[in-house]
Amino acid sequence: MAFETRIAKPHGVDPGKGNAYGWQKKAVAGDYTMDVSGVSATNHGIVDQVTDLGTVADGTHMYTEVRGGSITEATIGGEVALHLQTDGNQGRLRLDDSFDSAHQVTLGHLGDLSFDYLVQSSDRTDVIPVLRITLDADGNLATTNDRVDLVFEWAYQGLGAAPTGSWQHADLSGGNWVAWEHAYSPSHNFDNISDMTQLSDWADSNGFTPVGGIHVDQNSIVLGWQIAVGSFNGTNDMYIDHLHVGAQAINFA
């Protein structure tokens, strides 16, 4: 299946390819769902392979990054979903979406951040798909040395073993999930327990600053998101669907 995206009509009625652009214009003014079909990137080598999927139906820009595994779509538990498989400990899988100016919102106005996931198998009991949101921390797009990710990772939640074999829901904005910060300039992970807090703390007027890290608050601008699996997490077979990042909902179909 070729890679395709389209905006769903209200009430979940598929407009078909011919009407996608018209619904795109209405969609960016409020909440909408974009169907994403035919994601397929496989690379069993040890060097990252980046595939540019281009500008998609809602005006954002998608690409894949694959090393030692595959990103495809498959049916599991009655759902078509994004399928993430790593070959082993060196596997690294990413699906990224960079927002255009119409989708960039402040962190204080982001709202929903959630997804559904299914762990079919994993070498580790504390791994599910990771979600990262990329921010311009000071809210000034003219400066780029303050770009960071907020990283939501099961292993840091203290939730015990991740459920396997059935669909689960992760509510990163309304639940008790905590996030840590990855800075880009220079590259550094601020992932000590003291450097983690809930999204509501990062996104309020006071914001949050990890020790030695970059301050994030309600005025930080959301630049996009990344679904991630791998990098020294063993062999994994996982699925993710129904991703919500603010007004944008992604349905892998």
Q: What is the pLDDT along the chain (253 residues), one digit of tens a residue?
A: 799 999 985 544 444 433 344 444 445 558 999 999 999 999 999 999 999 999 999 999 999 999 999 999 999 988 999 999 999 999 999 999 999 999 999 999 999 999 999 999 999 999 999 999 999 999 999 999 999 999 999 999 999 999 999 999 999 998 789 999 999 999 999 999 999 999 999 999 999 999 999 999 999 999 999 999 998 889 999 999 999 999 999 999 9
Task: Write out the DSSP string of 119-180.
Answer: EEEESSSS---EEEEEEETTS-TT--TTEEEEEE-GGGS---SPP-SS-EEEETTTSS-EEE
The answer to whether residues 1 and 37 touch, using CB atoms and an 8 Å cutoff, is yes
User: What are the residue ranges spanned by the domains of the chain?
Assistant: 43-243
In this prediction the pTM is: 0.91
Domain 43-243 sits in CATH at 2.60.120
* Phi (first) and psi of residue 95, to 5 degrees: -120, 120
